[in-house]
């Protein structure tokens, strides 16, 4: 008879069910890895939908997990609702400038994108994730449970968690992922510090209801209204088509009472429009990165690992990228095909991404609504028009990089990873706003359509994928992958023309869509390459996992 263990067992314990922990649960669940997710909140917090912009990289990650449509369906604003940012003296005041096709939200087709961005309040993102988790048999979500303590040894991690009724559980996992936000208990228990700086300024986000407000102004639809006036400068926008709005402005105005918040919102609107404040949330910009992302068998990701100012909308998107990276590595470790260095490479790849996002966000923060104020901006007539035209020039100069970030979002590249075999081929030329597709190893696989609605990314496997553009690779790939237990999908595109465009006959693509290697395959030691990309320089001959082979008919891109 088995003696019952004093704890539940799983492979990965995920602490925190915000957007990042939930993404990780999907990444692991899609690969059948057992995990238990702990989240204190029974339901998403509708009063604090901080994140609104999901960028195209996050959306393509969601697509490959089969949940992009769930998110679009749950969004309060349907896809294509608006791709515009408007600058005005108040919601009912003078227009200063309009910027279109911002944040890659446009429904105008762009062949570089697998999925366009989506505007969706954080609570609705979490709702979509929670609902779709029911399709993941290997994931157990414990809503209402809070992590209290962590102990780890050479073989695993044991946590103590409590429920709101005071009951206690012990759970044992092989690994633990701390996605428990900026005040991370996991980070504190591991003794990991954050390094960087904070900003003294305080900002408020107010959520309010304003029936009929969308029809009561003449600025037209926009995802962001930047309000520029001398009294209260800030930003605002709708969260849904049912009169729920958000507004963000500097400082807790006055004594912070509901009347003061209502006054601030009234100034942004420009009239005493009747509004009901539902909630307020105060925050300060912080530029902090954890000194380490790993301690033993425990890992940090999302806001638990890094914090950046919100201008540009990078925070949750960055954490979703962490989850895509850590997820496949944990899956490889649990499934037995990870090399000894694979898990360490999570930090090596993702910490530089946090510094990159902070640098971009800090630049965006240099010019906020209040910095665009100038005398005469609210004047009627030609003099006011001239002042607004001058302000519009400043807006274009200072805000273009914040609104058009495709190069930053899709051009992210791991430049110094032990898991990537670099070459001397052309270096990618993306800038913040301009995305230059490139197969340079370390970067994201460039996208192309294989047929109507059929993306190259749809054909990638959950493990590595060998994309055969022109030539056909030899059987040594299957043999080497099987010997290592590495899941490898072979994708024959039969497109020599693409080999020329992509600059290689073969691309080895990682489970997170980054290119691990490109080349012609001549004189290649395949076994050595596979060892390198799985974090292991040594050969192994463990029993194999199936190698799948697919051969879609590629249509012109
Ligand atoms: C005003 C503002 C606007 C923003 N807009 C955007 C945007 O448009 N796009 C974008 O990408 N980012 C944006 N961000 C940043 C974004 O909100 C965060 O980066 C994101 O919420 C981080 O997600 P997370 O899952 O790491 O952490 P969180 O969202 O903080 O989630 C952490 C979770 O862990 C849980 N938790 C905490 N302690 C424990 C414990 N002991 N045990 C178990 N669970 C625990 C919490 O309940 C919570 O659910 C914005 C931020 C601000 C301030």
Q: Where do the H-state alpha helices sit in 75-121?
A: none
What is the pLDDT of the chain when averaged over all its residues? 93
Query: Does ligand 1 have an atom closer than 6 angstroms to the CB of 313?
Result: yes
- More confident call, 64 vs 262: 64
Amino acid 552: pLDDT: 41
3-state secondary structure of 97: strand
3-state secondary structure of 35: strand
Amino acid 251: pLDDT: 81
pLDDT of 345 above 50: yes
Query: Does ligand 1 have an atom closer than 6 angstroms to the CB of 162?
Result: no
Q: What is the ipTM of this complex?
A: 0.99
Task: Identify whether the C-beta of residue 556 lies closer than 8 Å to the C-beta of residue 495.
Answer: no
Q: Ligand 1: which residue has its CA nearest to atom 20?
A: 316
Minimum mean pLDDT range among 28-32, 195-199, 249-253, 376-380: 249-253
- Where along the chain do its domains lie? 8-78+116-197+287-363, 80-114+200-284+374-410, 420-550
Q: How far is the CA of 362 from the centre of ligand 1 (A)?
A: 19
Q: How far is the CA of 320 from the centre of ligand 1 (A)?
A: 11
Span 249-279, pLDDT tens digits = 988 656 678 888 899 999 999 999 999 999 9
Span 448-488, pLDDT tens digits = 999 999 999 999 999 999 999 988 999 999 999 999 999 99
Residue 225: pLDDT band by 50, 70, 90 thresholds? very high
Query: Does ligand 1 have an atom closer than 6 angstroms to the CB of 147?
Result: yes
State the closest ligand 1 atom to the C-alpha of 186, by its place in the atom list counted from 1: 41
Which of 88, 79, 99, 399 lies closest to 219, judged by CA? Answer: 88
Asked if domains 8-78+116-197+287-363 and 80-114+200-284+374-410 share a fold, the reply is: no
- More confident call, 427 vs 118: 118
Amino acid 425: pLDDT: 86
Amino acid 539: pLDDT: 40
Q: What average pLDDT does range 71-95 have in this prediction? A: 97
Residue 554: pLDDT band by 50, 70, 90 thresholds? very low
pLDDT of 32 above 70: yes
Share of the chain above pLDDT 90, in %: 87
Q: Where do the H-state alpha helices sit in 16-153?
A: 19-30, 56-64, 68-74, 122-133
Helix then strand count (H, E) for the chain reads 13, 29
Amino acid 413: pLDDT: 97
> CA-CA distance, 527 to 517, in Å (whole number)?
13
Q: What average pLDDT does range 405-433 have in this prediction? A: 94
The three-state (H, E, C) secondary structure of 357-424, written as one string: HHHHHHHHHCCCHHHHCCCCCCCCHHHHHHHHHHHHHHHHHHHHHHHCCHHHHHCCECCCCCCCCCCC
CA distances (Å), origin 165, targets 13, 14, 156, 241, 341: 21, 21, 28, 37, 42
State the closest ligand 1 atom to the C-alpha of 21, by its place in the atom list counted from 1: 25
> CA-CA distance, 477 to 526, in Å (whole number)?
6
| Residue 162 phi, psi dihedral angles, 5° rounding | -125, 150
Amino acid 120: pLDDT: 97
CA distances (Å), origin 151, targets 4, 173, 327, 346: 20, 11, 22, 22
| Residue 335 phi, psi dihedral angles, 5° rounding | -80, -10
The alpha carbon torsion through 19, 284, 314, 96 (nearest 10 deg) reads 120
Ligand 1 pocket mutation, candidates 71, 76, 316, 325, criterion most atoms within 8 A of CB:
316
Amino acid 540: pLDDT: 42
Amino acid 252: pLDDT: 67
Q: What average pLDDT does range 521-529 have in this prediction? A: 95
> CA-CA distance, 162 to 340, in Å (whole number)?
34
Exposure of 331 in the CB half-sphere (CA atoms within 13 A): 25
Query: Does ligand 1 have an atom closer than 6 angstroms to the CB of 38?
Result: yes
- More confident call, 547 vs 309: 309
Query: Does ligand 1 have an atom closer than 6 angstroms to the CB of 116?
Result: no
pLDDT of 3 above 80: no
Residue 538: pLDDT band by 50, 70, 90 thresholds? very low
Q: How far is the CA of 165 from the centre of ligand 1 (A)?
A: 25
Ligand 1 pocket mutation, candidates 41, 303, 324, criterion most atoms within 8 A of CB:
303
Q: What average pLDDT does range 304-308 have in this prediction? A: 98
As a whole number of angstroms, the longest Cα–Cα distance in the chain is: 90
Q: What average pLDDT does range 433-437 have in this prediction? A: 96
pLDDT of 215 above 90: yes
Q: How many other CB atoms sit within 10 Å of the CB of residue 86?
A: 23
Q: What average pLDDT does range 287-306 have in this prediction? A: 98
Ligand 1 pocket mutation, candidates 150, 307, 315, 320, criterion most atoms within 8 A of CB:
315
Which of 220, 216, 218, 213 lies closest to 99, judged by CA? Answer: 220
pLDDT of 343 above 70: yes
Minimum mean pLDDT range among 107-116, 174-183, 541-550: 541-550
Share of the chain above pLDDT 70, in %: 94
pLDDT of 341 above 60: yes
Query: Which CATH class, in words, describes the domain spanning 420-550?
Result: alpha beta
Amino acid 471: pLDDT: 87
CATH of 8-78+116-197+287-363, one of 3.50.50.60, 3.90.1280.10, 3.30.70.270, 3.30.70.890: 3.50.50.60
> CA-CA distance, 552 to 557, in Å (whole number)?
14
Query: Does ligand 1 have an atom closer than 6 angstroms to the CB of 217?
Result: no
Amino acid 542: pLDDT: 41
Q: Ligand 1: which residue has its CA nearest to atom 26?
A: 302
Amino acid 325: pLDDT: 98
266 Rama sector, left if φ>0, alpha if ψ -120 to 50, beta otherwise: alpha
Q: How far is the CA of 303 from the centre of ligand 1 (A)?
A: 6
Residue 314: pLDDT band by 50, 70, 90 thresholds? very high
Query: Which CATH class, in words, describes the domain spanning 80-114+200-284+374-410?
Result: alpha beta
Residue 528: pLDDT band by 50, 70, 90 thresholds? very high
Query: Does ligand 1 have an atom closer than 6 angstroms to the CB of 285?
Result: no
């Amino acid at each position: 008879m088995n003696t019952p263990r004093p704890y539940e067992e799983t492979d990965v314990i995920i602490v925190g069910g915000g957007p990042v922990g939930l993404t990780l649960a999907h990444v692991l669940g899609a690969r059948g890895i057992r995990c238990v997710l702990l989240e204190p909140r029974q339901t998403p917090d509708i009063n604090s939908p901080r994140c609104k912009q999901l960028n195209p990289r996050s959306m393509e990650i969601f697509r490959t997990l089969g949940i992009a449509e769930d998110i679009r369906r749950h969004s309060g604003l349907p896809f294509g609702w608006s791709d515009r940012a408007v600058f005005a003296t108040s919601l009912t005041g003078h227009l200063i400038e309009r910027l279109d096709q911002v944040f890659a939200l446009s429904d105008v087709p762009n062949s570089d994108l697998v999925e366009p961005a989506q505007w969706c309040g954080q609570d609705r993102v979490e709702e979509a994730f929670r609902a779709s988790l029911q399709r993941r048999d290997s994931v157990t979500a414990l809503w209402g449970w809070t992590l209290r303590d962590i102990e780890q040894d050479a073989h695993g991690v044991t946590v103590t968690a409590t429920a709101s009724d005071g009951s206690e559980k012990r759970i044992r996992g092989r690994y633990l992922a701390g996605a428990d936000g900026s005040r991370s208990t996991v980070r504190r228990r591991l003794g990991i510090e954050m390094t960087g700086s904070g900003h003294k300024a305080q900002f408020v986000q107010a959520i309010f209801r304003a029936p009929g407000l969308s029809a009561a102004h003449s600025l037209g639809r926009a995802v962001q209204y930047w309000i520029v006036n001398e009294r209260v400068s800030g930003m605002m926008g709708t969260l849904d088509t049912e009169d729920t709005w958000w507004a963000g402005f500097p400082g807790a105005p006055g004594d912070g009472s509901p009347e003061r918040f209502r006054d601030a919102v009234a100034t942004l609107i420009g009239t005493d429009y009747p509004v009901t404040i539902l909630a307020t949330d105060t925050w300060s910009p912080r530029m902090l990165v954890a000194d380490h992302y790993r301690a033993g068998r425990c890992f940090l990701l999302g806001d638990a690992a890094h914090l950046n100012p919100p201008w540009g909308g990078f925070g949750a998107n960055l954490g979703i990228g962490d989850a895509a990276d850590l997820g496949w590595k944990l899956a490889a470790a649990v499934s037995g095909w990870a090399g000894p260095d694979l898990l360490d490479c999570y930090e090596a790849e993702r910490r530089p991404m946090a510094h990159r996002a902070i640098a971009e966000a800090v630049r965006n923060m240099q010019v906020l609504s209040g910095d665009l104020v100038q005398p005469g901006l609210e004047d009627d007539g030609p003099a006011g028009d001239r002042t607004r035209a001058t302000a519009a020039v400043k807006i274009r100069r200072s805000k273009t990089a914040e609104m058009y970030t495709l190069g930053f979002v899709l051009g992210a590249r791991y430049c110094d990873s032990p898991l990537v075999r670099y070459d001397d081929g052309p270096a990618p030329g993306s800038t913040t706003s301009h995305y230059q597709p490139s197969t340079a190893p370390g970067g994201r696989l460039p996208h192309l359509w294989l047929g109507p609605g059929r993306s190259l990314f749809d054909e990638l496997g959950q493990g590595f994928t060998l994309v055969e553009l022109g030539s056909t690779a030899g059987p040594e790939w299957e043999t080497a992958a099987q010997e290592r237990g590495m899941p490898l999908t072979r994708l024959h595109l039969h497109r020599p023309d693409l080999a020329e465009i992509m600059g290689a006959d073969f691309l080895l693509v990682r489970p997170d869509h980054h290119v691990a290697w490109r080349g012609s395959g001549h004189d290649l030691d395949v076994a050595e390459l596979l060892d390198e990309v799985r974090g292991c320089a040594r050969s192994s001959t463990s029993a194999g996992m199936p190698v799948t082979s697919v051969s879609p008919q590629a249509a012109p891109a």
